[in-house]
Amino acid sequence: MLKKLFGSKKTEKQTEETVFAPLTGKLLQLEEVPDPVFSQKMMGDGMAIEPSEGILVSPVEGEIIQLFHTKHAIGIRSQTGMEILLHIGLETVAMNGEGFEAFVKEGDSVKPGDKLISFDLDLIKEKAASTITPIIITNGDIVESVQKAPVGQVNGGKDKVFDIKVK
């Protein structure tokens, strides 16, 4: 009865989305990452950023679906259903959380620019293989197309790294 009076509100599934830079720094092609797991896209397609400061922010509106106990990596499911892995540095898991502080937990909702994790960039340079941070779409099977931004300087939470369209 109420649906007839007021109409039923159909929610269209979002199929397009902009992914913003989760860090301030230099945007790189994934092939430039000095780790074959990322550069050969074994985990999925994406981009990477060599950070110039130690603040990781959300690149999309979505939900935190995984926060590694070592706080070096975080997974987000966006409004389109795309799942993004943000992996701070290379071989940073061995740091066992040292120099990382998380500001979110699994299940939290986030918007582009929300602070996720802070990290000690100098400590990563000293103790890990690299500061380069991959931004990986881990469920690429739902993605119809990815338009990547040109490489160069980006500002965390403000500049686009890619636009996606899901199937």
Q: What is the mean pLDDT of each run of 10 residues along the chain (167 residues)?
A: 51 88 98 97 97 98 97 97 98 97 98 98 97 98 96 97 96
Question: Which residues belong to the active site?
Answer: 87
Q: Is residue 26 a part of any domain in this protein?
A: yes
Number of domains in the chain: 1
Query: Does 5 fall in a domain?
Result: no
Residue 70 lies in a domain: yes
Q: Is 10 among the domain residues?
A: no
Tens digits of per-residue pLDDT, 8-27?
555 578 999 999 999 999 99
Q: What is the CATH number of the domain that holds 99?
A: 2.70.70.10
Q: What would the pLDDT profile of 99-117 be if each residue is shown by its tens digit? A: 999 999 999 999 999 999 9
* Residue burial 62-95, b: 16+ Cβ < 10 Å; e: rest: bbbbebbeebbbbbbbbebbbbbbbbbbbebbeb
Q: Does 45 fall in a domain?
A: yes
pLDDT for the residue numbered 7: 54
pLDDT of residue 13: 82
Could you list the residue range(s) of the whole structural domain that residue 86 is in? Answer: 15-166
Given the DSSP bridges, would you call strands 143-148 and 160-166 parallel, antiparallel or unpaired? antiparallel
Flag whether 2 is in a domain.
no
Is residue 61 one of the residues assigned to a domain? yes
Residue 5 has a pLDDT of 52
4 domain-assigned: no
